[in-house]
Structures are given as structure tokens and as C-alpha cells.
């Protein structure tokens, strides 16, 4: 989904449906856990198997998943719909939380949330900046404050990314959450939060000052020339 600022005044928006990339879907296979507890969880981790929980159903489902299966969804900024295959049953879910070891690069535990087609979900979707802002060409520097936006929508309407076109963003301008509109998405971040901005740098300020000084000099020269002509 592409968001394009139309003008700086209020940043009224145009939504262009070039290509709506829905969330990718990936299959993750696991097995129900029979024995629970810290001791059993430690045994699983020693075999590079991660304890996991699926919430949102009629009952909480405890299962275990090989770390190799989780690689598909944890080492990427993308958001995935997960088809959990557990003991022959398939559950549609989202990865809700992941716990890492404090020192080693090991996953200690993963929480999944079961979803349904007719119930809205709350999820963070990464932004993707497209184009070159004129403000950067003028010497400014882009600062991205929110790399993910929290949205509420049906699973089928959640895009893979929220693409933001910045080709009209000038020096000193910004895009706020409230200025972004995507069909079928409700943004949950505060509308006043700045998503990204092109800040004025020392180089850019110097360039602007020099340009203004040049313009003032030209205007002064023209005025003097005009005065001289009138006297003659």
C-alpha cells in the first residue's frame, strides 16, 4: 500500500493502489507438549527446540517448535501470518511475543495468537520509504521516528508494509501518523506522532542563508540601478 503526500498544506493524501502486498503466509510445524515445567523446557532448549504457547482458542495450547522453523519469521522485519501445524491440526496465528536469552542468541519462548477471518487484529506493520525527498537533495537529513505503525484491521486487509512516498517532502517538513490514510486500516498510534522528518542540517542552513543573501544582493543592486536611472 503506497501513501503519497500531495501537498505540504495539511499533507492531504492520495492513496495509490499500485499493488497491495498482503501479509506473507508461512508454515511453522510443532508438536504438542506432554510434560511442562522449567526442567522440561530446559531439556527442549538443549536440543534447539523452543517452548511455545498458542493463545486465543478455547484453551491455551502448549507446544514445542524447532528453532530451525522459527528462523523463517524472526530474522526479518516483515510481518507474517503463520499456519501452525501441530499434531495434524492447522491454526492460523500471529507471533505475539518472543523471549531471547540475555546473553546468547537463543530463543527461550514464543507466544502466538490465534486469529480468525472475521475478527480484527492489532499488529505492528513496518513502513517502507520510497523515493528521494527534495529536502535531502537540499542538504537535509531524514530521521525515521517510527519504523513500524500499530494498526487494527482484519487479517486479510493487513499489508506486508506501509509504503510511504517522500518525493514531495521538503527541507524541515515531516509526515505524521494522522496524515496517513490506508484503506481498511485503523492506525492506533497517536495522530500527532511524527513518522519521519527531513531535518535541517548545518550544511543545509548555510546553503539556504547563502541563497537568501544572494537574492537580497541582487534585489539591492536592481534597486540602486533603478534609482540611478530615475536621477538621470
Do 106 and 33 lie in a common domain?
A: yes
pLDDT over 70 (residue 157): yes
Q: Which of 20-29, 66-75, 170-179, 194-203 has the highest mean pLDDT?
A: 170-179
What DSSP string describes 129-175? EES--HHHHTT-EEEES-SEEEEEE-GGG-BS-EEEE-TT--TT-EE
The tens digit of pLDDT for each residue in 40-96 reads 999 999 999 999 999 988 889 999 999 989 888 888 777 778 899 999 899 999 888
CATH code at 145?
2.170.120.20
CA atoms within 13 A on the CB side of 181: 10
Do 53 and 89 lie in a common domain?
A: yes
Mean pLDDT for 130-145 is 90
CATH code at 93?
2.40.240.10
In a domain, 225, yes or no: no
Do 86 and 138 lie in a common domain?
A: no
Do 159 and 79 lie in a common domain?
A: no
Which domain does 111 fall in, by range?
A: 24-121
The tens digit of pLDDT for each residue in 110-132 reads 999 998 888 898 888 889 999 99
In a domain, 218, yes or no: no
Name which of 86, 109, 81 is nearest 97 in CA terms. Answer: 109
pLDDT over 50 (residue 20): no
In a domain, 178, yes or no: yes
pTM of the model: 0.68
Last residue in a domain, options 121, 138, 169: 121
Do 51 and 97 lie in a common domain?
A: yes
Last residue in a domain, options 62, 86, 121: 121
The conformation of residue 10, written as its DSSP 8-state character, comes to: T
State whether residue 201 is helix, strand or coil: coil
Name which of 78, 88, 70, 103 is nearest 31 in CA terms. Answer: 88
Do 136 and 62 lie in a common domain?
A: no
- Name the domain count of the chain: 2
Amino acid at each position: 500500500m503506497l501513501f503519497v503526500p500531495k501537498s505540504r498544506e495539511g499533507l492531504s493524501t492520495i492513496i495509490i493502489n499500485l499493488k497491495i502486498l498482503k501479509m506473507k503466509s508461512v508454515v511453522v510445524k510443532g508438536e504438542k507438549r506432554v510434560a511442562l515445567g522449567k526442567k522440561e523446557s530446559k531439556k527442549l532448549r538443549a536440543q534447539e527446540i523452543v517452548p511455545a504457547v498458542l493463545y486465543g482458542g478455547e484453551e491455551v495450547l502448549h507446544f514445542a517448535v524447532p528453532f530451525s522453523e522459527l528462523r523463517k519469521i524472526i530474522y526479518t522485519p516483515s510481518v507474517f501470518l503463520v499456519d501452525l501445524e501441530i499434531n495434524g491440526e492447522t491454526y492460523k496465528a500471529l507471533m505475539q511475543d518472543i523471549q531471547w536469552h540475555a546473553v546468547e542468541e537463543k530463543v527461550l519462548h514464543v507466544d502466538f495468537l490465534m486469529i480468525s477471518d472475521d475478527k480484527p487484529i492489532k499488529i505492528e506493520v513496518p513502513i517502507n520509504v520510497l523515493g528521494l525527498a527534495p529536502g535531502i537533495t537540499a542538504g537535509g537529513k531524514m530521521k525515521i521516528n517510527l519504523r513500524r505503525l500499530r494498526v487494527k484491521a482484519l487479517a486479510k486487509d493487513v499489508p506486508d508494509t506501509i509504503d510511504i512516498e517522500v518525493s514531495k517532502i521538503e527541507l524541515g517538513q515531516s509526515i505524521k501518523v494522522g496524515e496517513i490514510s490506508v484503506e481498511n486500516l485503523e492506525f492506533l498510534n497517536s495522530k500527532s506522532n511524527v513518522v519521519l522528518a527531513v531535518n535541517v542540517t548545518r550544511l543545509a542552513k548555510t546553503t539556504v542563508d547563502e541563497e537568501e543573501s544572494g537574492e537580497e544582493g541582487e534585489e539591492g543592486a536592481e534597486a540602486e540601478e533603478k534609482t540611478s536611472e530615475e536621477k538621470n
